[in-house]
Amino acid sequence: MTTMTTNAAATAKSTGASGLTFAGVLRSEWIKLRSLRSTMWCYIIIVLLTVGLGLLIAAAVPAIKGVASHDSQQSTWVTAATLGIGFGQLVSAVLGALVITGEYGTGMIRSTFAAVPKRLPAIIAKVLVFGVSTFVVGLVSLIAAALVTAPLLPAKGVHPDFGDGAVWLALIGGAGYLALIGVLSLGIGLILRNSAGSIAASLGLVLVVPIILQVLARVTQAEWPGNIAAFLPSDAGSKLYAYPAAAQTVTSRSGAGGAAGTAIQNITLDSWQGLLVLLGWFAVAFVVGAILVKRRDA
């Protein structure tokens, strides 16, 4: 009896190991992601915020006096289409944290790691599924915002050029930013394993820390707060969805120069440097989280 039980267990283990594929893990994570009600509502909110705020800014922007340059008109259009990213990033960060911490909270993570004993494939699959889903939702919402705002802008002296590749590159960059902020928050969730703590840490990094640095810049009249802010996820990531002509004329975000009456030259990044900085933030969070996942009990 013991021999038969042992052989059956060995056979089941062998079959399970041979039947476990990364495609199957991806499929499992996709089922879990779309089964969560919070996923649907968060994605709906991102779409509504992006399109709604785009319509609002397109309707409220003052008419341009005289004849504006092509770059200026395109920059106004991109600004209207991407205004909702500032709010959508907060939703993406919250959802990213919940995707992983929700499993720790319910204990489902034990079943996940039991099905995928090596653990890392499950985490990688979760990051890929969530990241790609968020990118697609972000891109659809940004394209929709660009399309619905375009008819409102000619009355303001802005004539959108649909053939301008820089506009579509900015929209793709905006969708990528939303996805990277979400997976960064997921990495933070891997480290903290607590929903409230992970959401607070993610929103603090994206929303609170930049404000603190702005206040410090005004108080100290120094360059270093603005230089540090340039490497924060929100500031570096904003370069991904800025129209190139507008990005070249970026002034200090610290506000210190305006208070003093002179411009303080801070470090500024281009779109590719901003992308690398954002990827670096995610890589650090993911690597630390992966190490802890391997060492800690579920």
Mean pLDDT, residues 210-228 taken together: 90
pLDDT greater than 50 at residue 6: no
**214 with 229: CB under 8 angstroms?**
yes
Mean pLDDT, residues 160-179 taken together: 94
Q: In this predicted model, what pLDDT tens digit does every residue of 114-145 receive, in sequence order? A: 999 999 999 999 999 999 999 999 999 999 99
Q: In this predicted model, what pLDDT tens digit does every residue of 260-270 receive, in sequence order? A: 333 354 788 88
**108 with 264: CB under 8 angstroms?**
no
Q: In this predicted model, what pLDDT tens digit does every residue of 85-98 receive, in sequence order? A: 999 999 999 999 99
pLDDT greater than 50 at residue 233: yes
**78 with 241: CB under 8 angstroms?**
yes
**77 with 153: CB under 8 angstroms?**
yes
Four-residue CA torsion sign, 16, 20, 25, 27: negative
Mean pLDDT, residues 253-282 taken together: 68
**92 with 46: CB under 8 angstroms?**
yes
**95 with 42: CB under 8 angstroms?**
yes
122 three-state secondary structure = helix
pLDDT greater than 60 at residue 223: yes
Predicted local confidence at residue 247, as pLDDT? 54
Mean pLDDT, residues 238-260 taken together: 58
Degrees to nearest 5, angle at CA 264 with 176 and 220: 100
pLDDT greater than 80 at residue 4: no
Averaged pLDDT of the chain:
85
84 three-state secondary structure = coil
Q: How far apart are CA 238 and CA 224, in angstroms?
A: 19
